[in-house]
Amino acid sequence: MSVLYEKKERVAVITINRPEALNAINYDVLAKLSEAVEAAAADDEIYVLILTGAGKAFVAGADISLMKDFSPVEAKRFAEYANAIFSRLESLPKPSIAAVNGYALGGGCELAMACDIRIAGARAKFGQPEVGLGITPGFGGTQRLPRLVGASKAKELILTAESIGADEALKIGLVSRVVPDEELMGTAFELAGKIARNAQVAVRQSKDAINRGLQCDLATGLSYEAQAFSVCFSTEDQKDAMNAFVAKSKLGGFKNK
């Protein structure tokens, strides 16, 4: 299987599994990734997704052997297919964490950027090397990278085709933390567990408000936030948690409704 799917309590682990090709993205990987994302979306027991790669790469890019003879029409079809899946992951109500365990280049960097949170192993490498192959990024790199690190740094990375290490990725805000490689998955599960223990309506409304706000002006974003805030007051979790806080009693856990 080119993509593995595993449930661990409230967490779905999706592993790109083409280690012999450094997990390069082809149509089969995209189809299986889509199936895994939809399986996690449909499972009420899953609260958080973790994406990672098998072997020494997260995803080293799209499969060059597949793309080299594409016509413009075939190239557009491939990009649109990948973008639809990555956008579905990005807009999924359930938060996602990219555990970047090695090369995250081209489509791999773009897949990581479609996740909500990115953590990197110390040996991780990031980059958009496409112009060195005579093409542009095609799976969201020209759009998500400048939103994450600013236009100047994004243009530098894309136009030079140079890759950066984990520490530089942390410095520019592409990842939120760097950990020793052997601690990467443990850290991802620890982070996922912290998210899963919180009120899930509030978690999902917060994610949605952030994502919507990044695409609009401040006043519209504040309106989205007020709406998300108000939705939470229709939940039992808000009543239980605030009553427990006022009573100085311990909340036994969230009902997620």
Exposure string over 142-178, b if 16+ CB within 10 A, otherwise e: bebbbebbeeebbeebbeeeebbbbebbbebebbeeb
The pLDDT of residue 256 is above 90: no
Residue 123 tokens read as 């040996």
> Is position 45 annotated as part of the catalytic site?
no
130, 162, 168, 236: the catalytic one is 130
CB 178 within 8 A of CB 170: yes
CB 44 within 8 A of CB 225: no
d(CA 121, CA 141): 21
110, 168, 182, 183: the catalytic one is 110
> Is position 182 annotated as part of the catalytic site?
no
Q: What does the pLDDT look like over 206-252, one tens digit per residue?
A: 999 999 999 999 999 999 999 999 999 999 999 999 999 999 998 88
The letter for the amino acid at 112 is A
Assign 104 to helix, strand or coil: strand
d(CA 27, CA 9): 30
CB 42 within 8 A of CB 91: no
Q: What does the pLDDT look like over 159-206, one tens digit per residue?
A: 999 999 999 999 999 999 999 999 999 999 999 999 999 999 999 999
Structural domains in the chain, CATH included, are 3-196 (3.90.226.10), 200-247 (1.10.12.10)
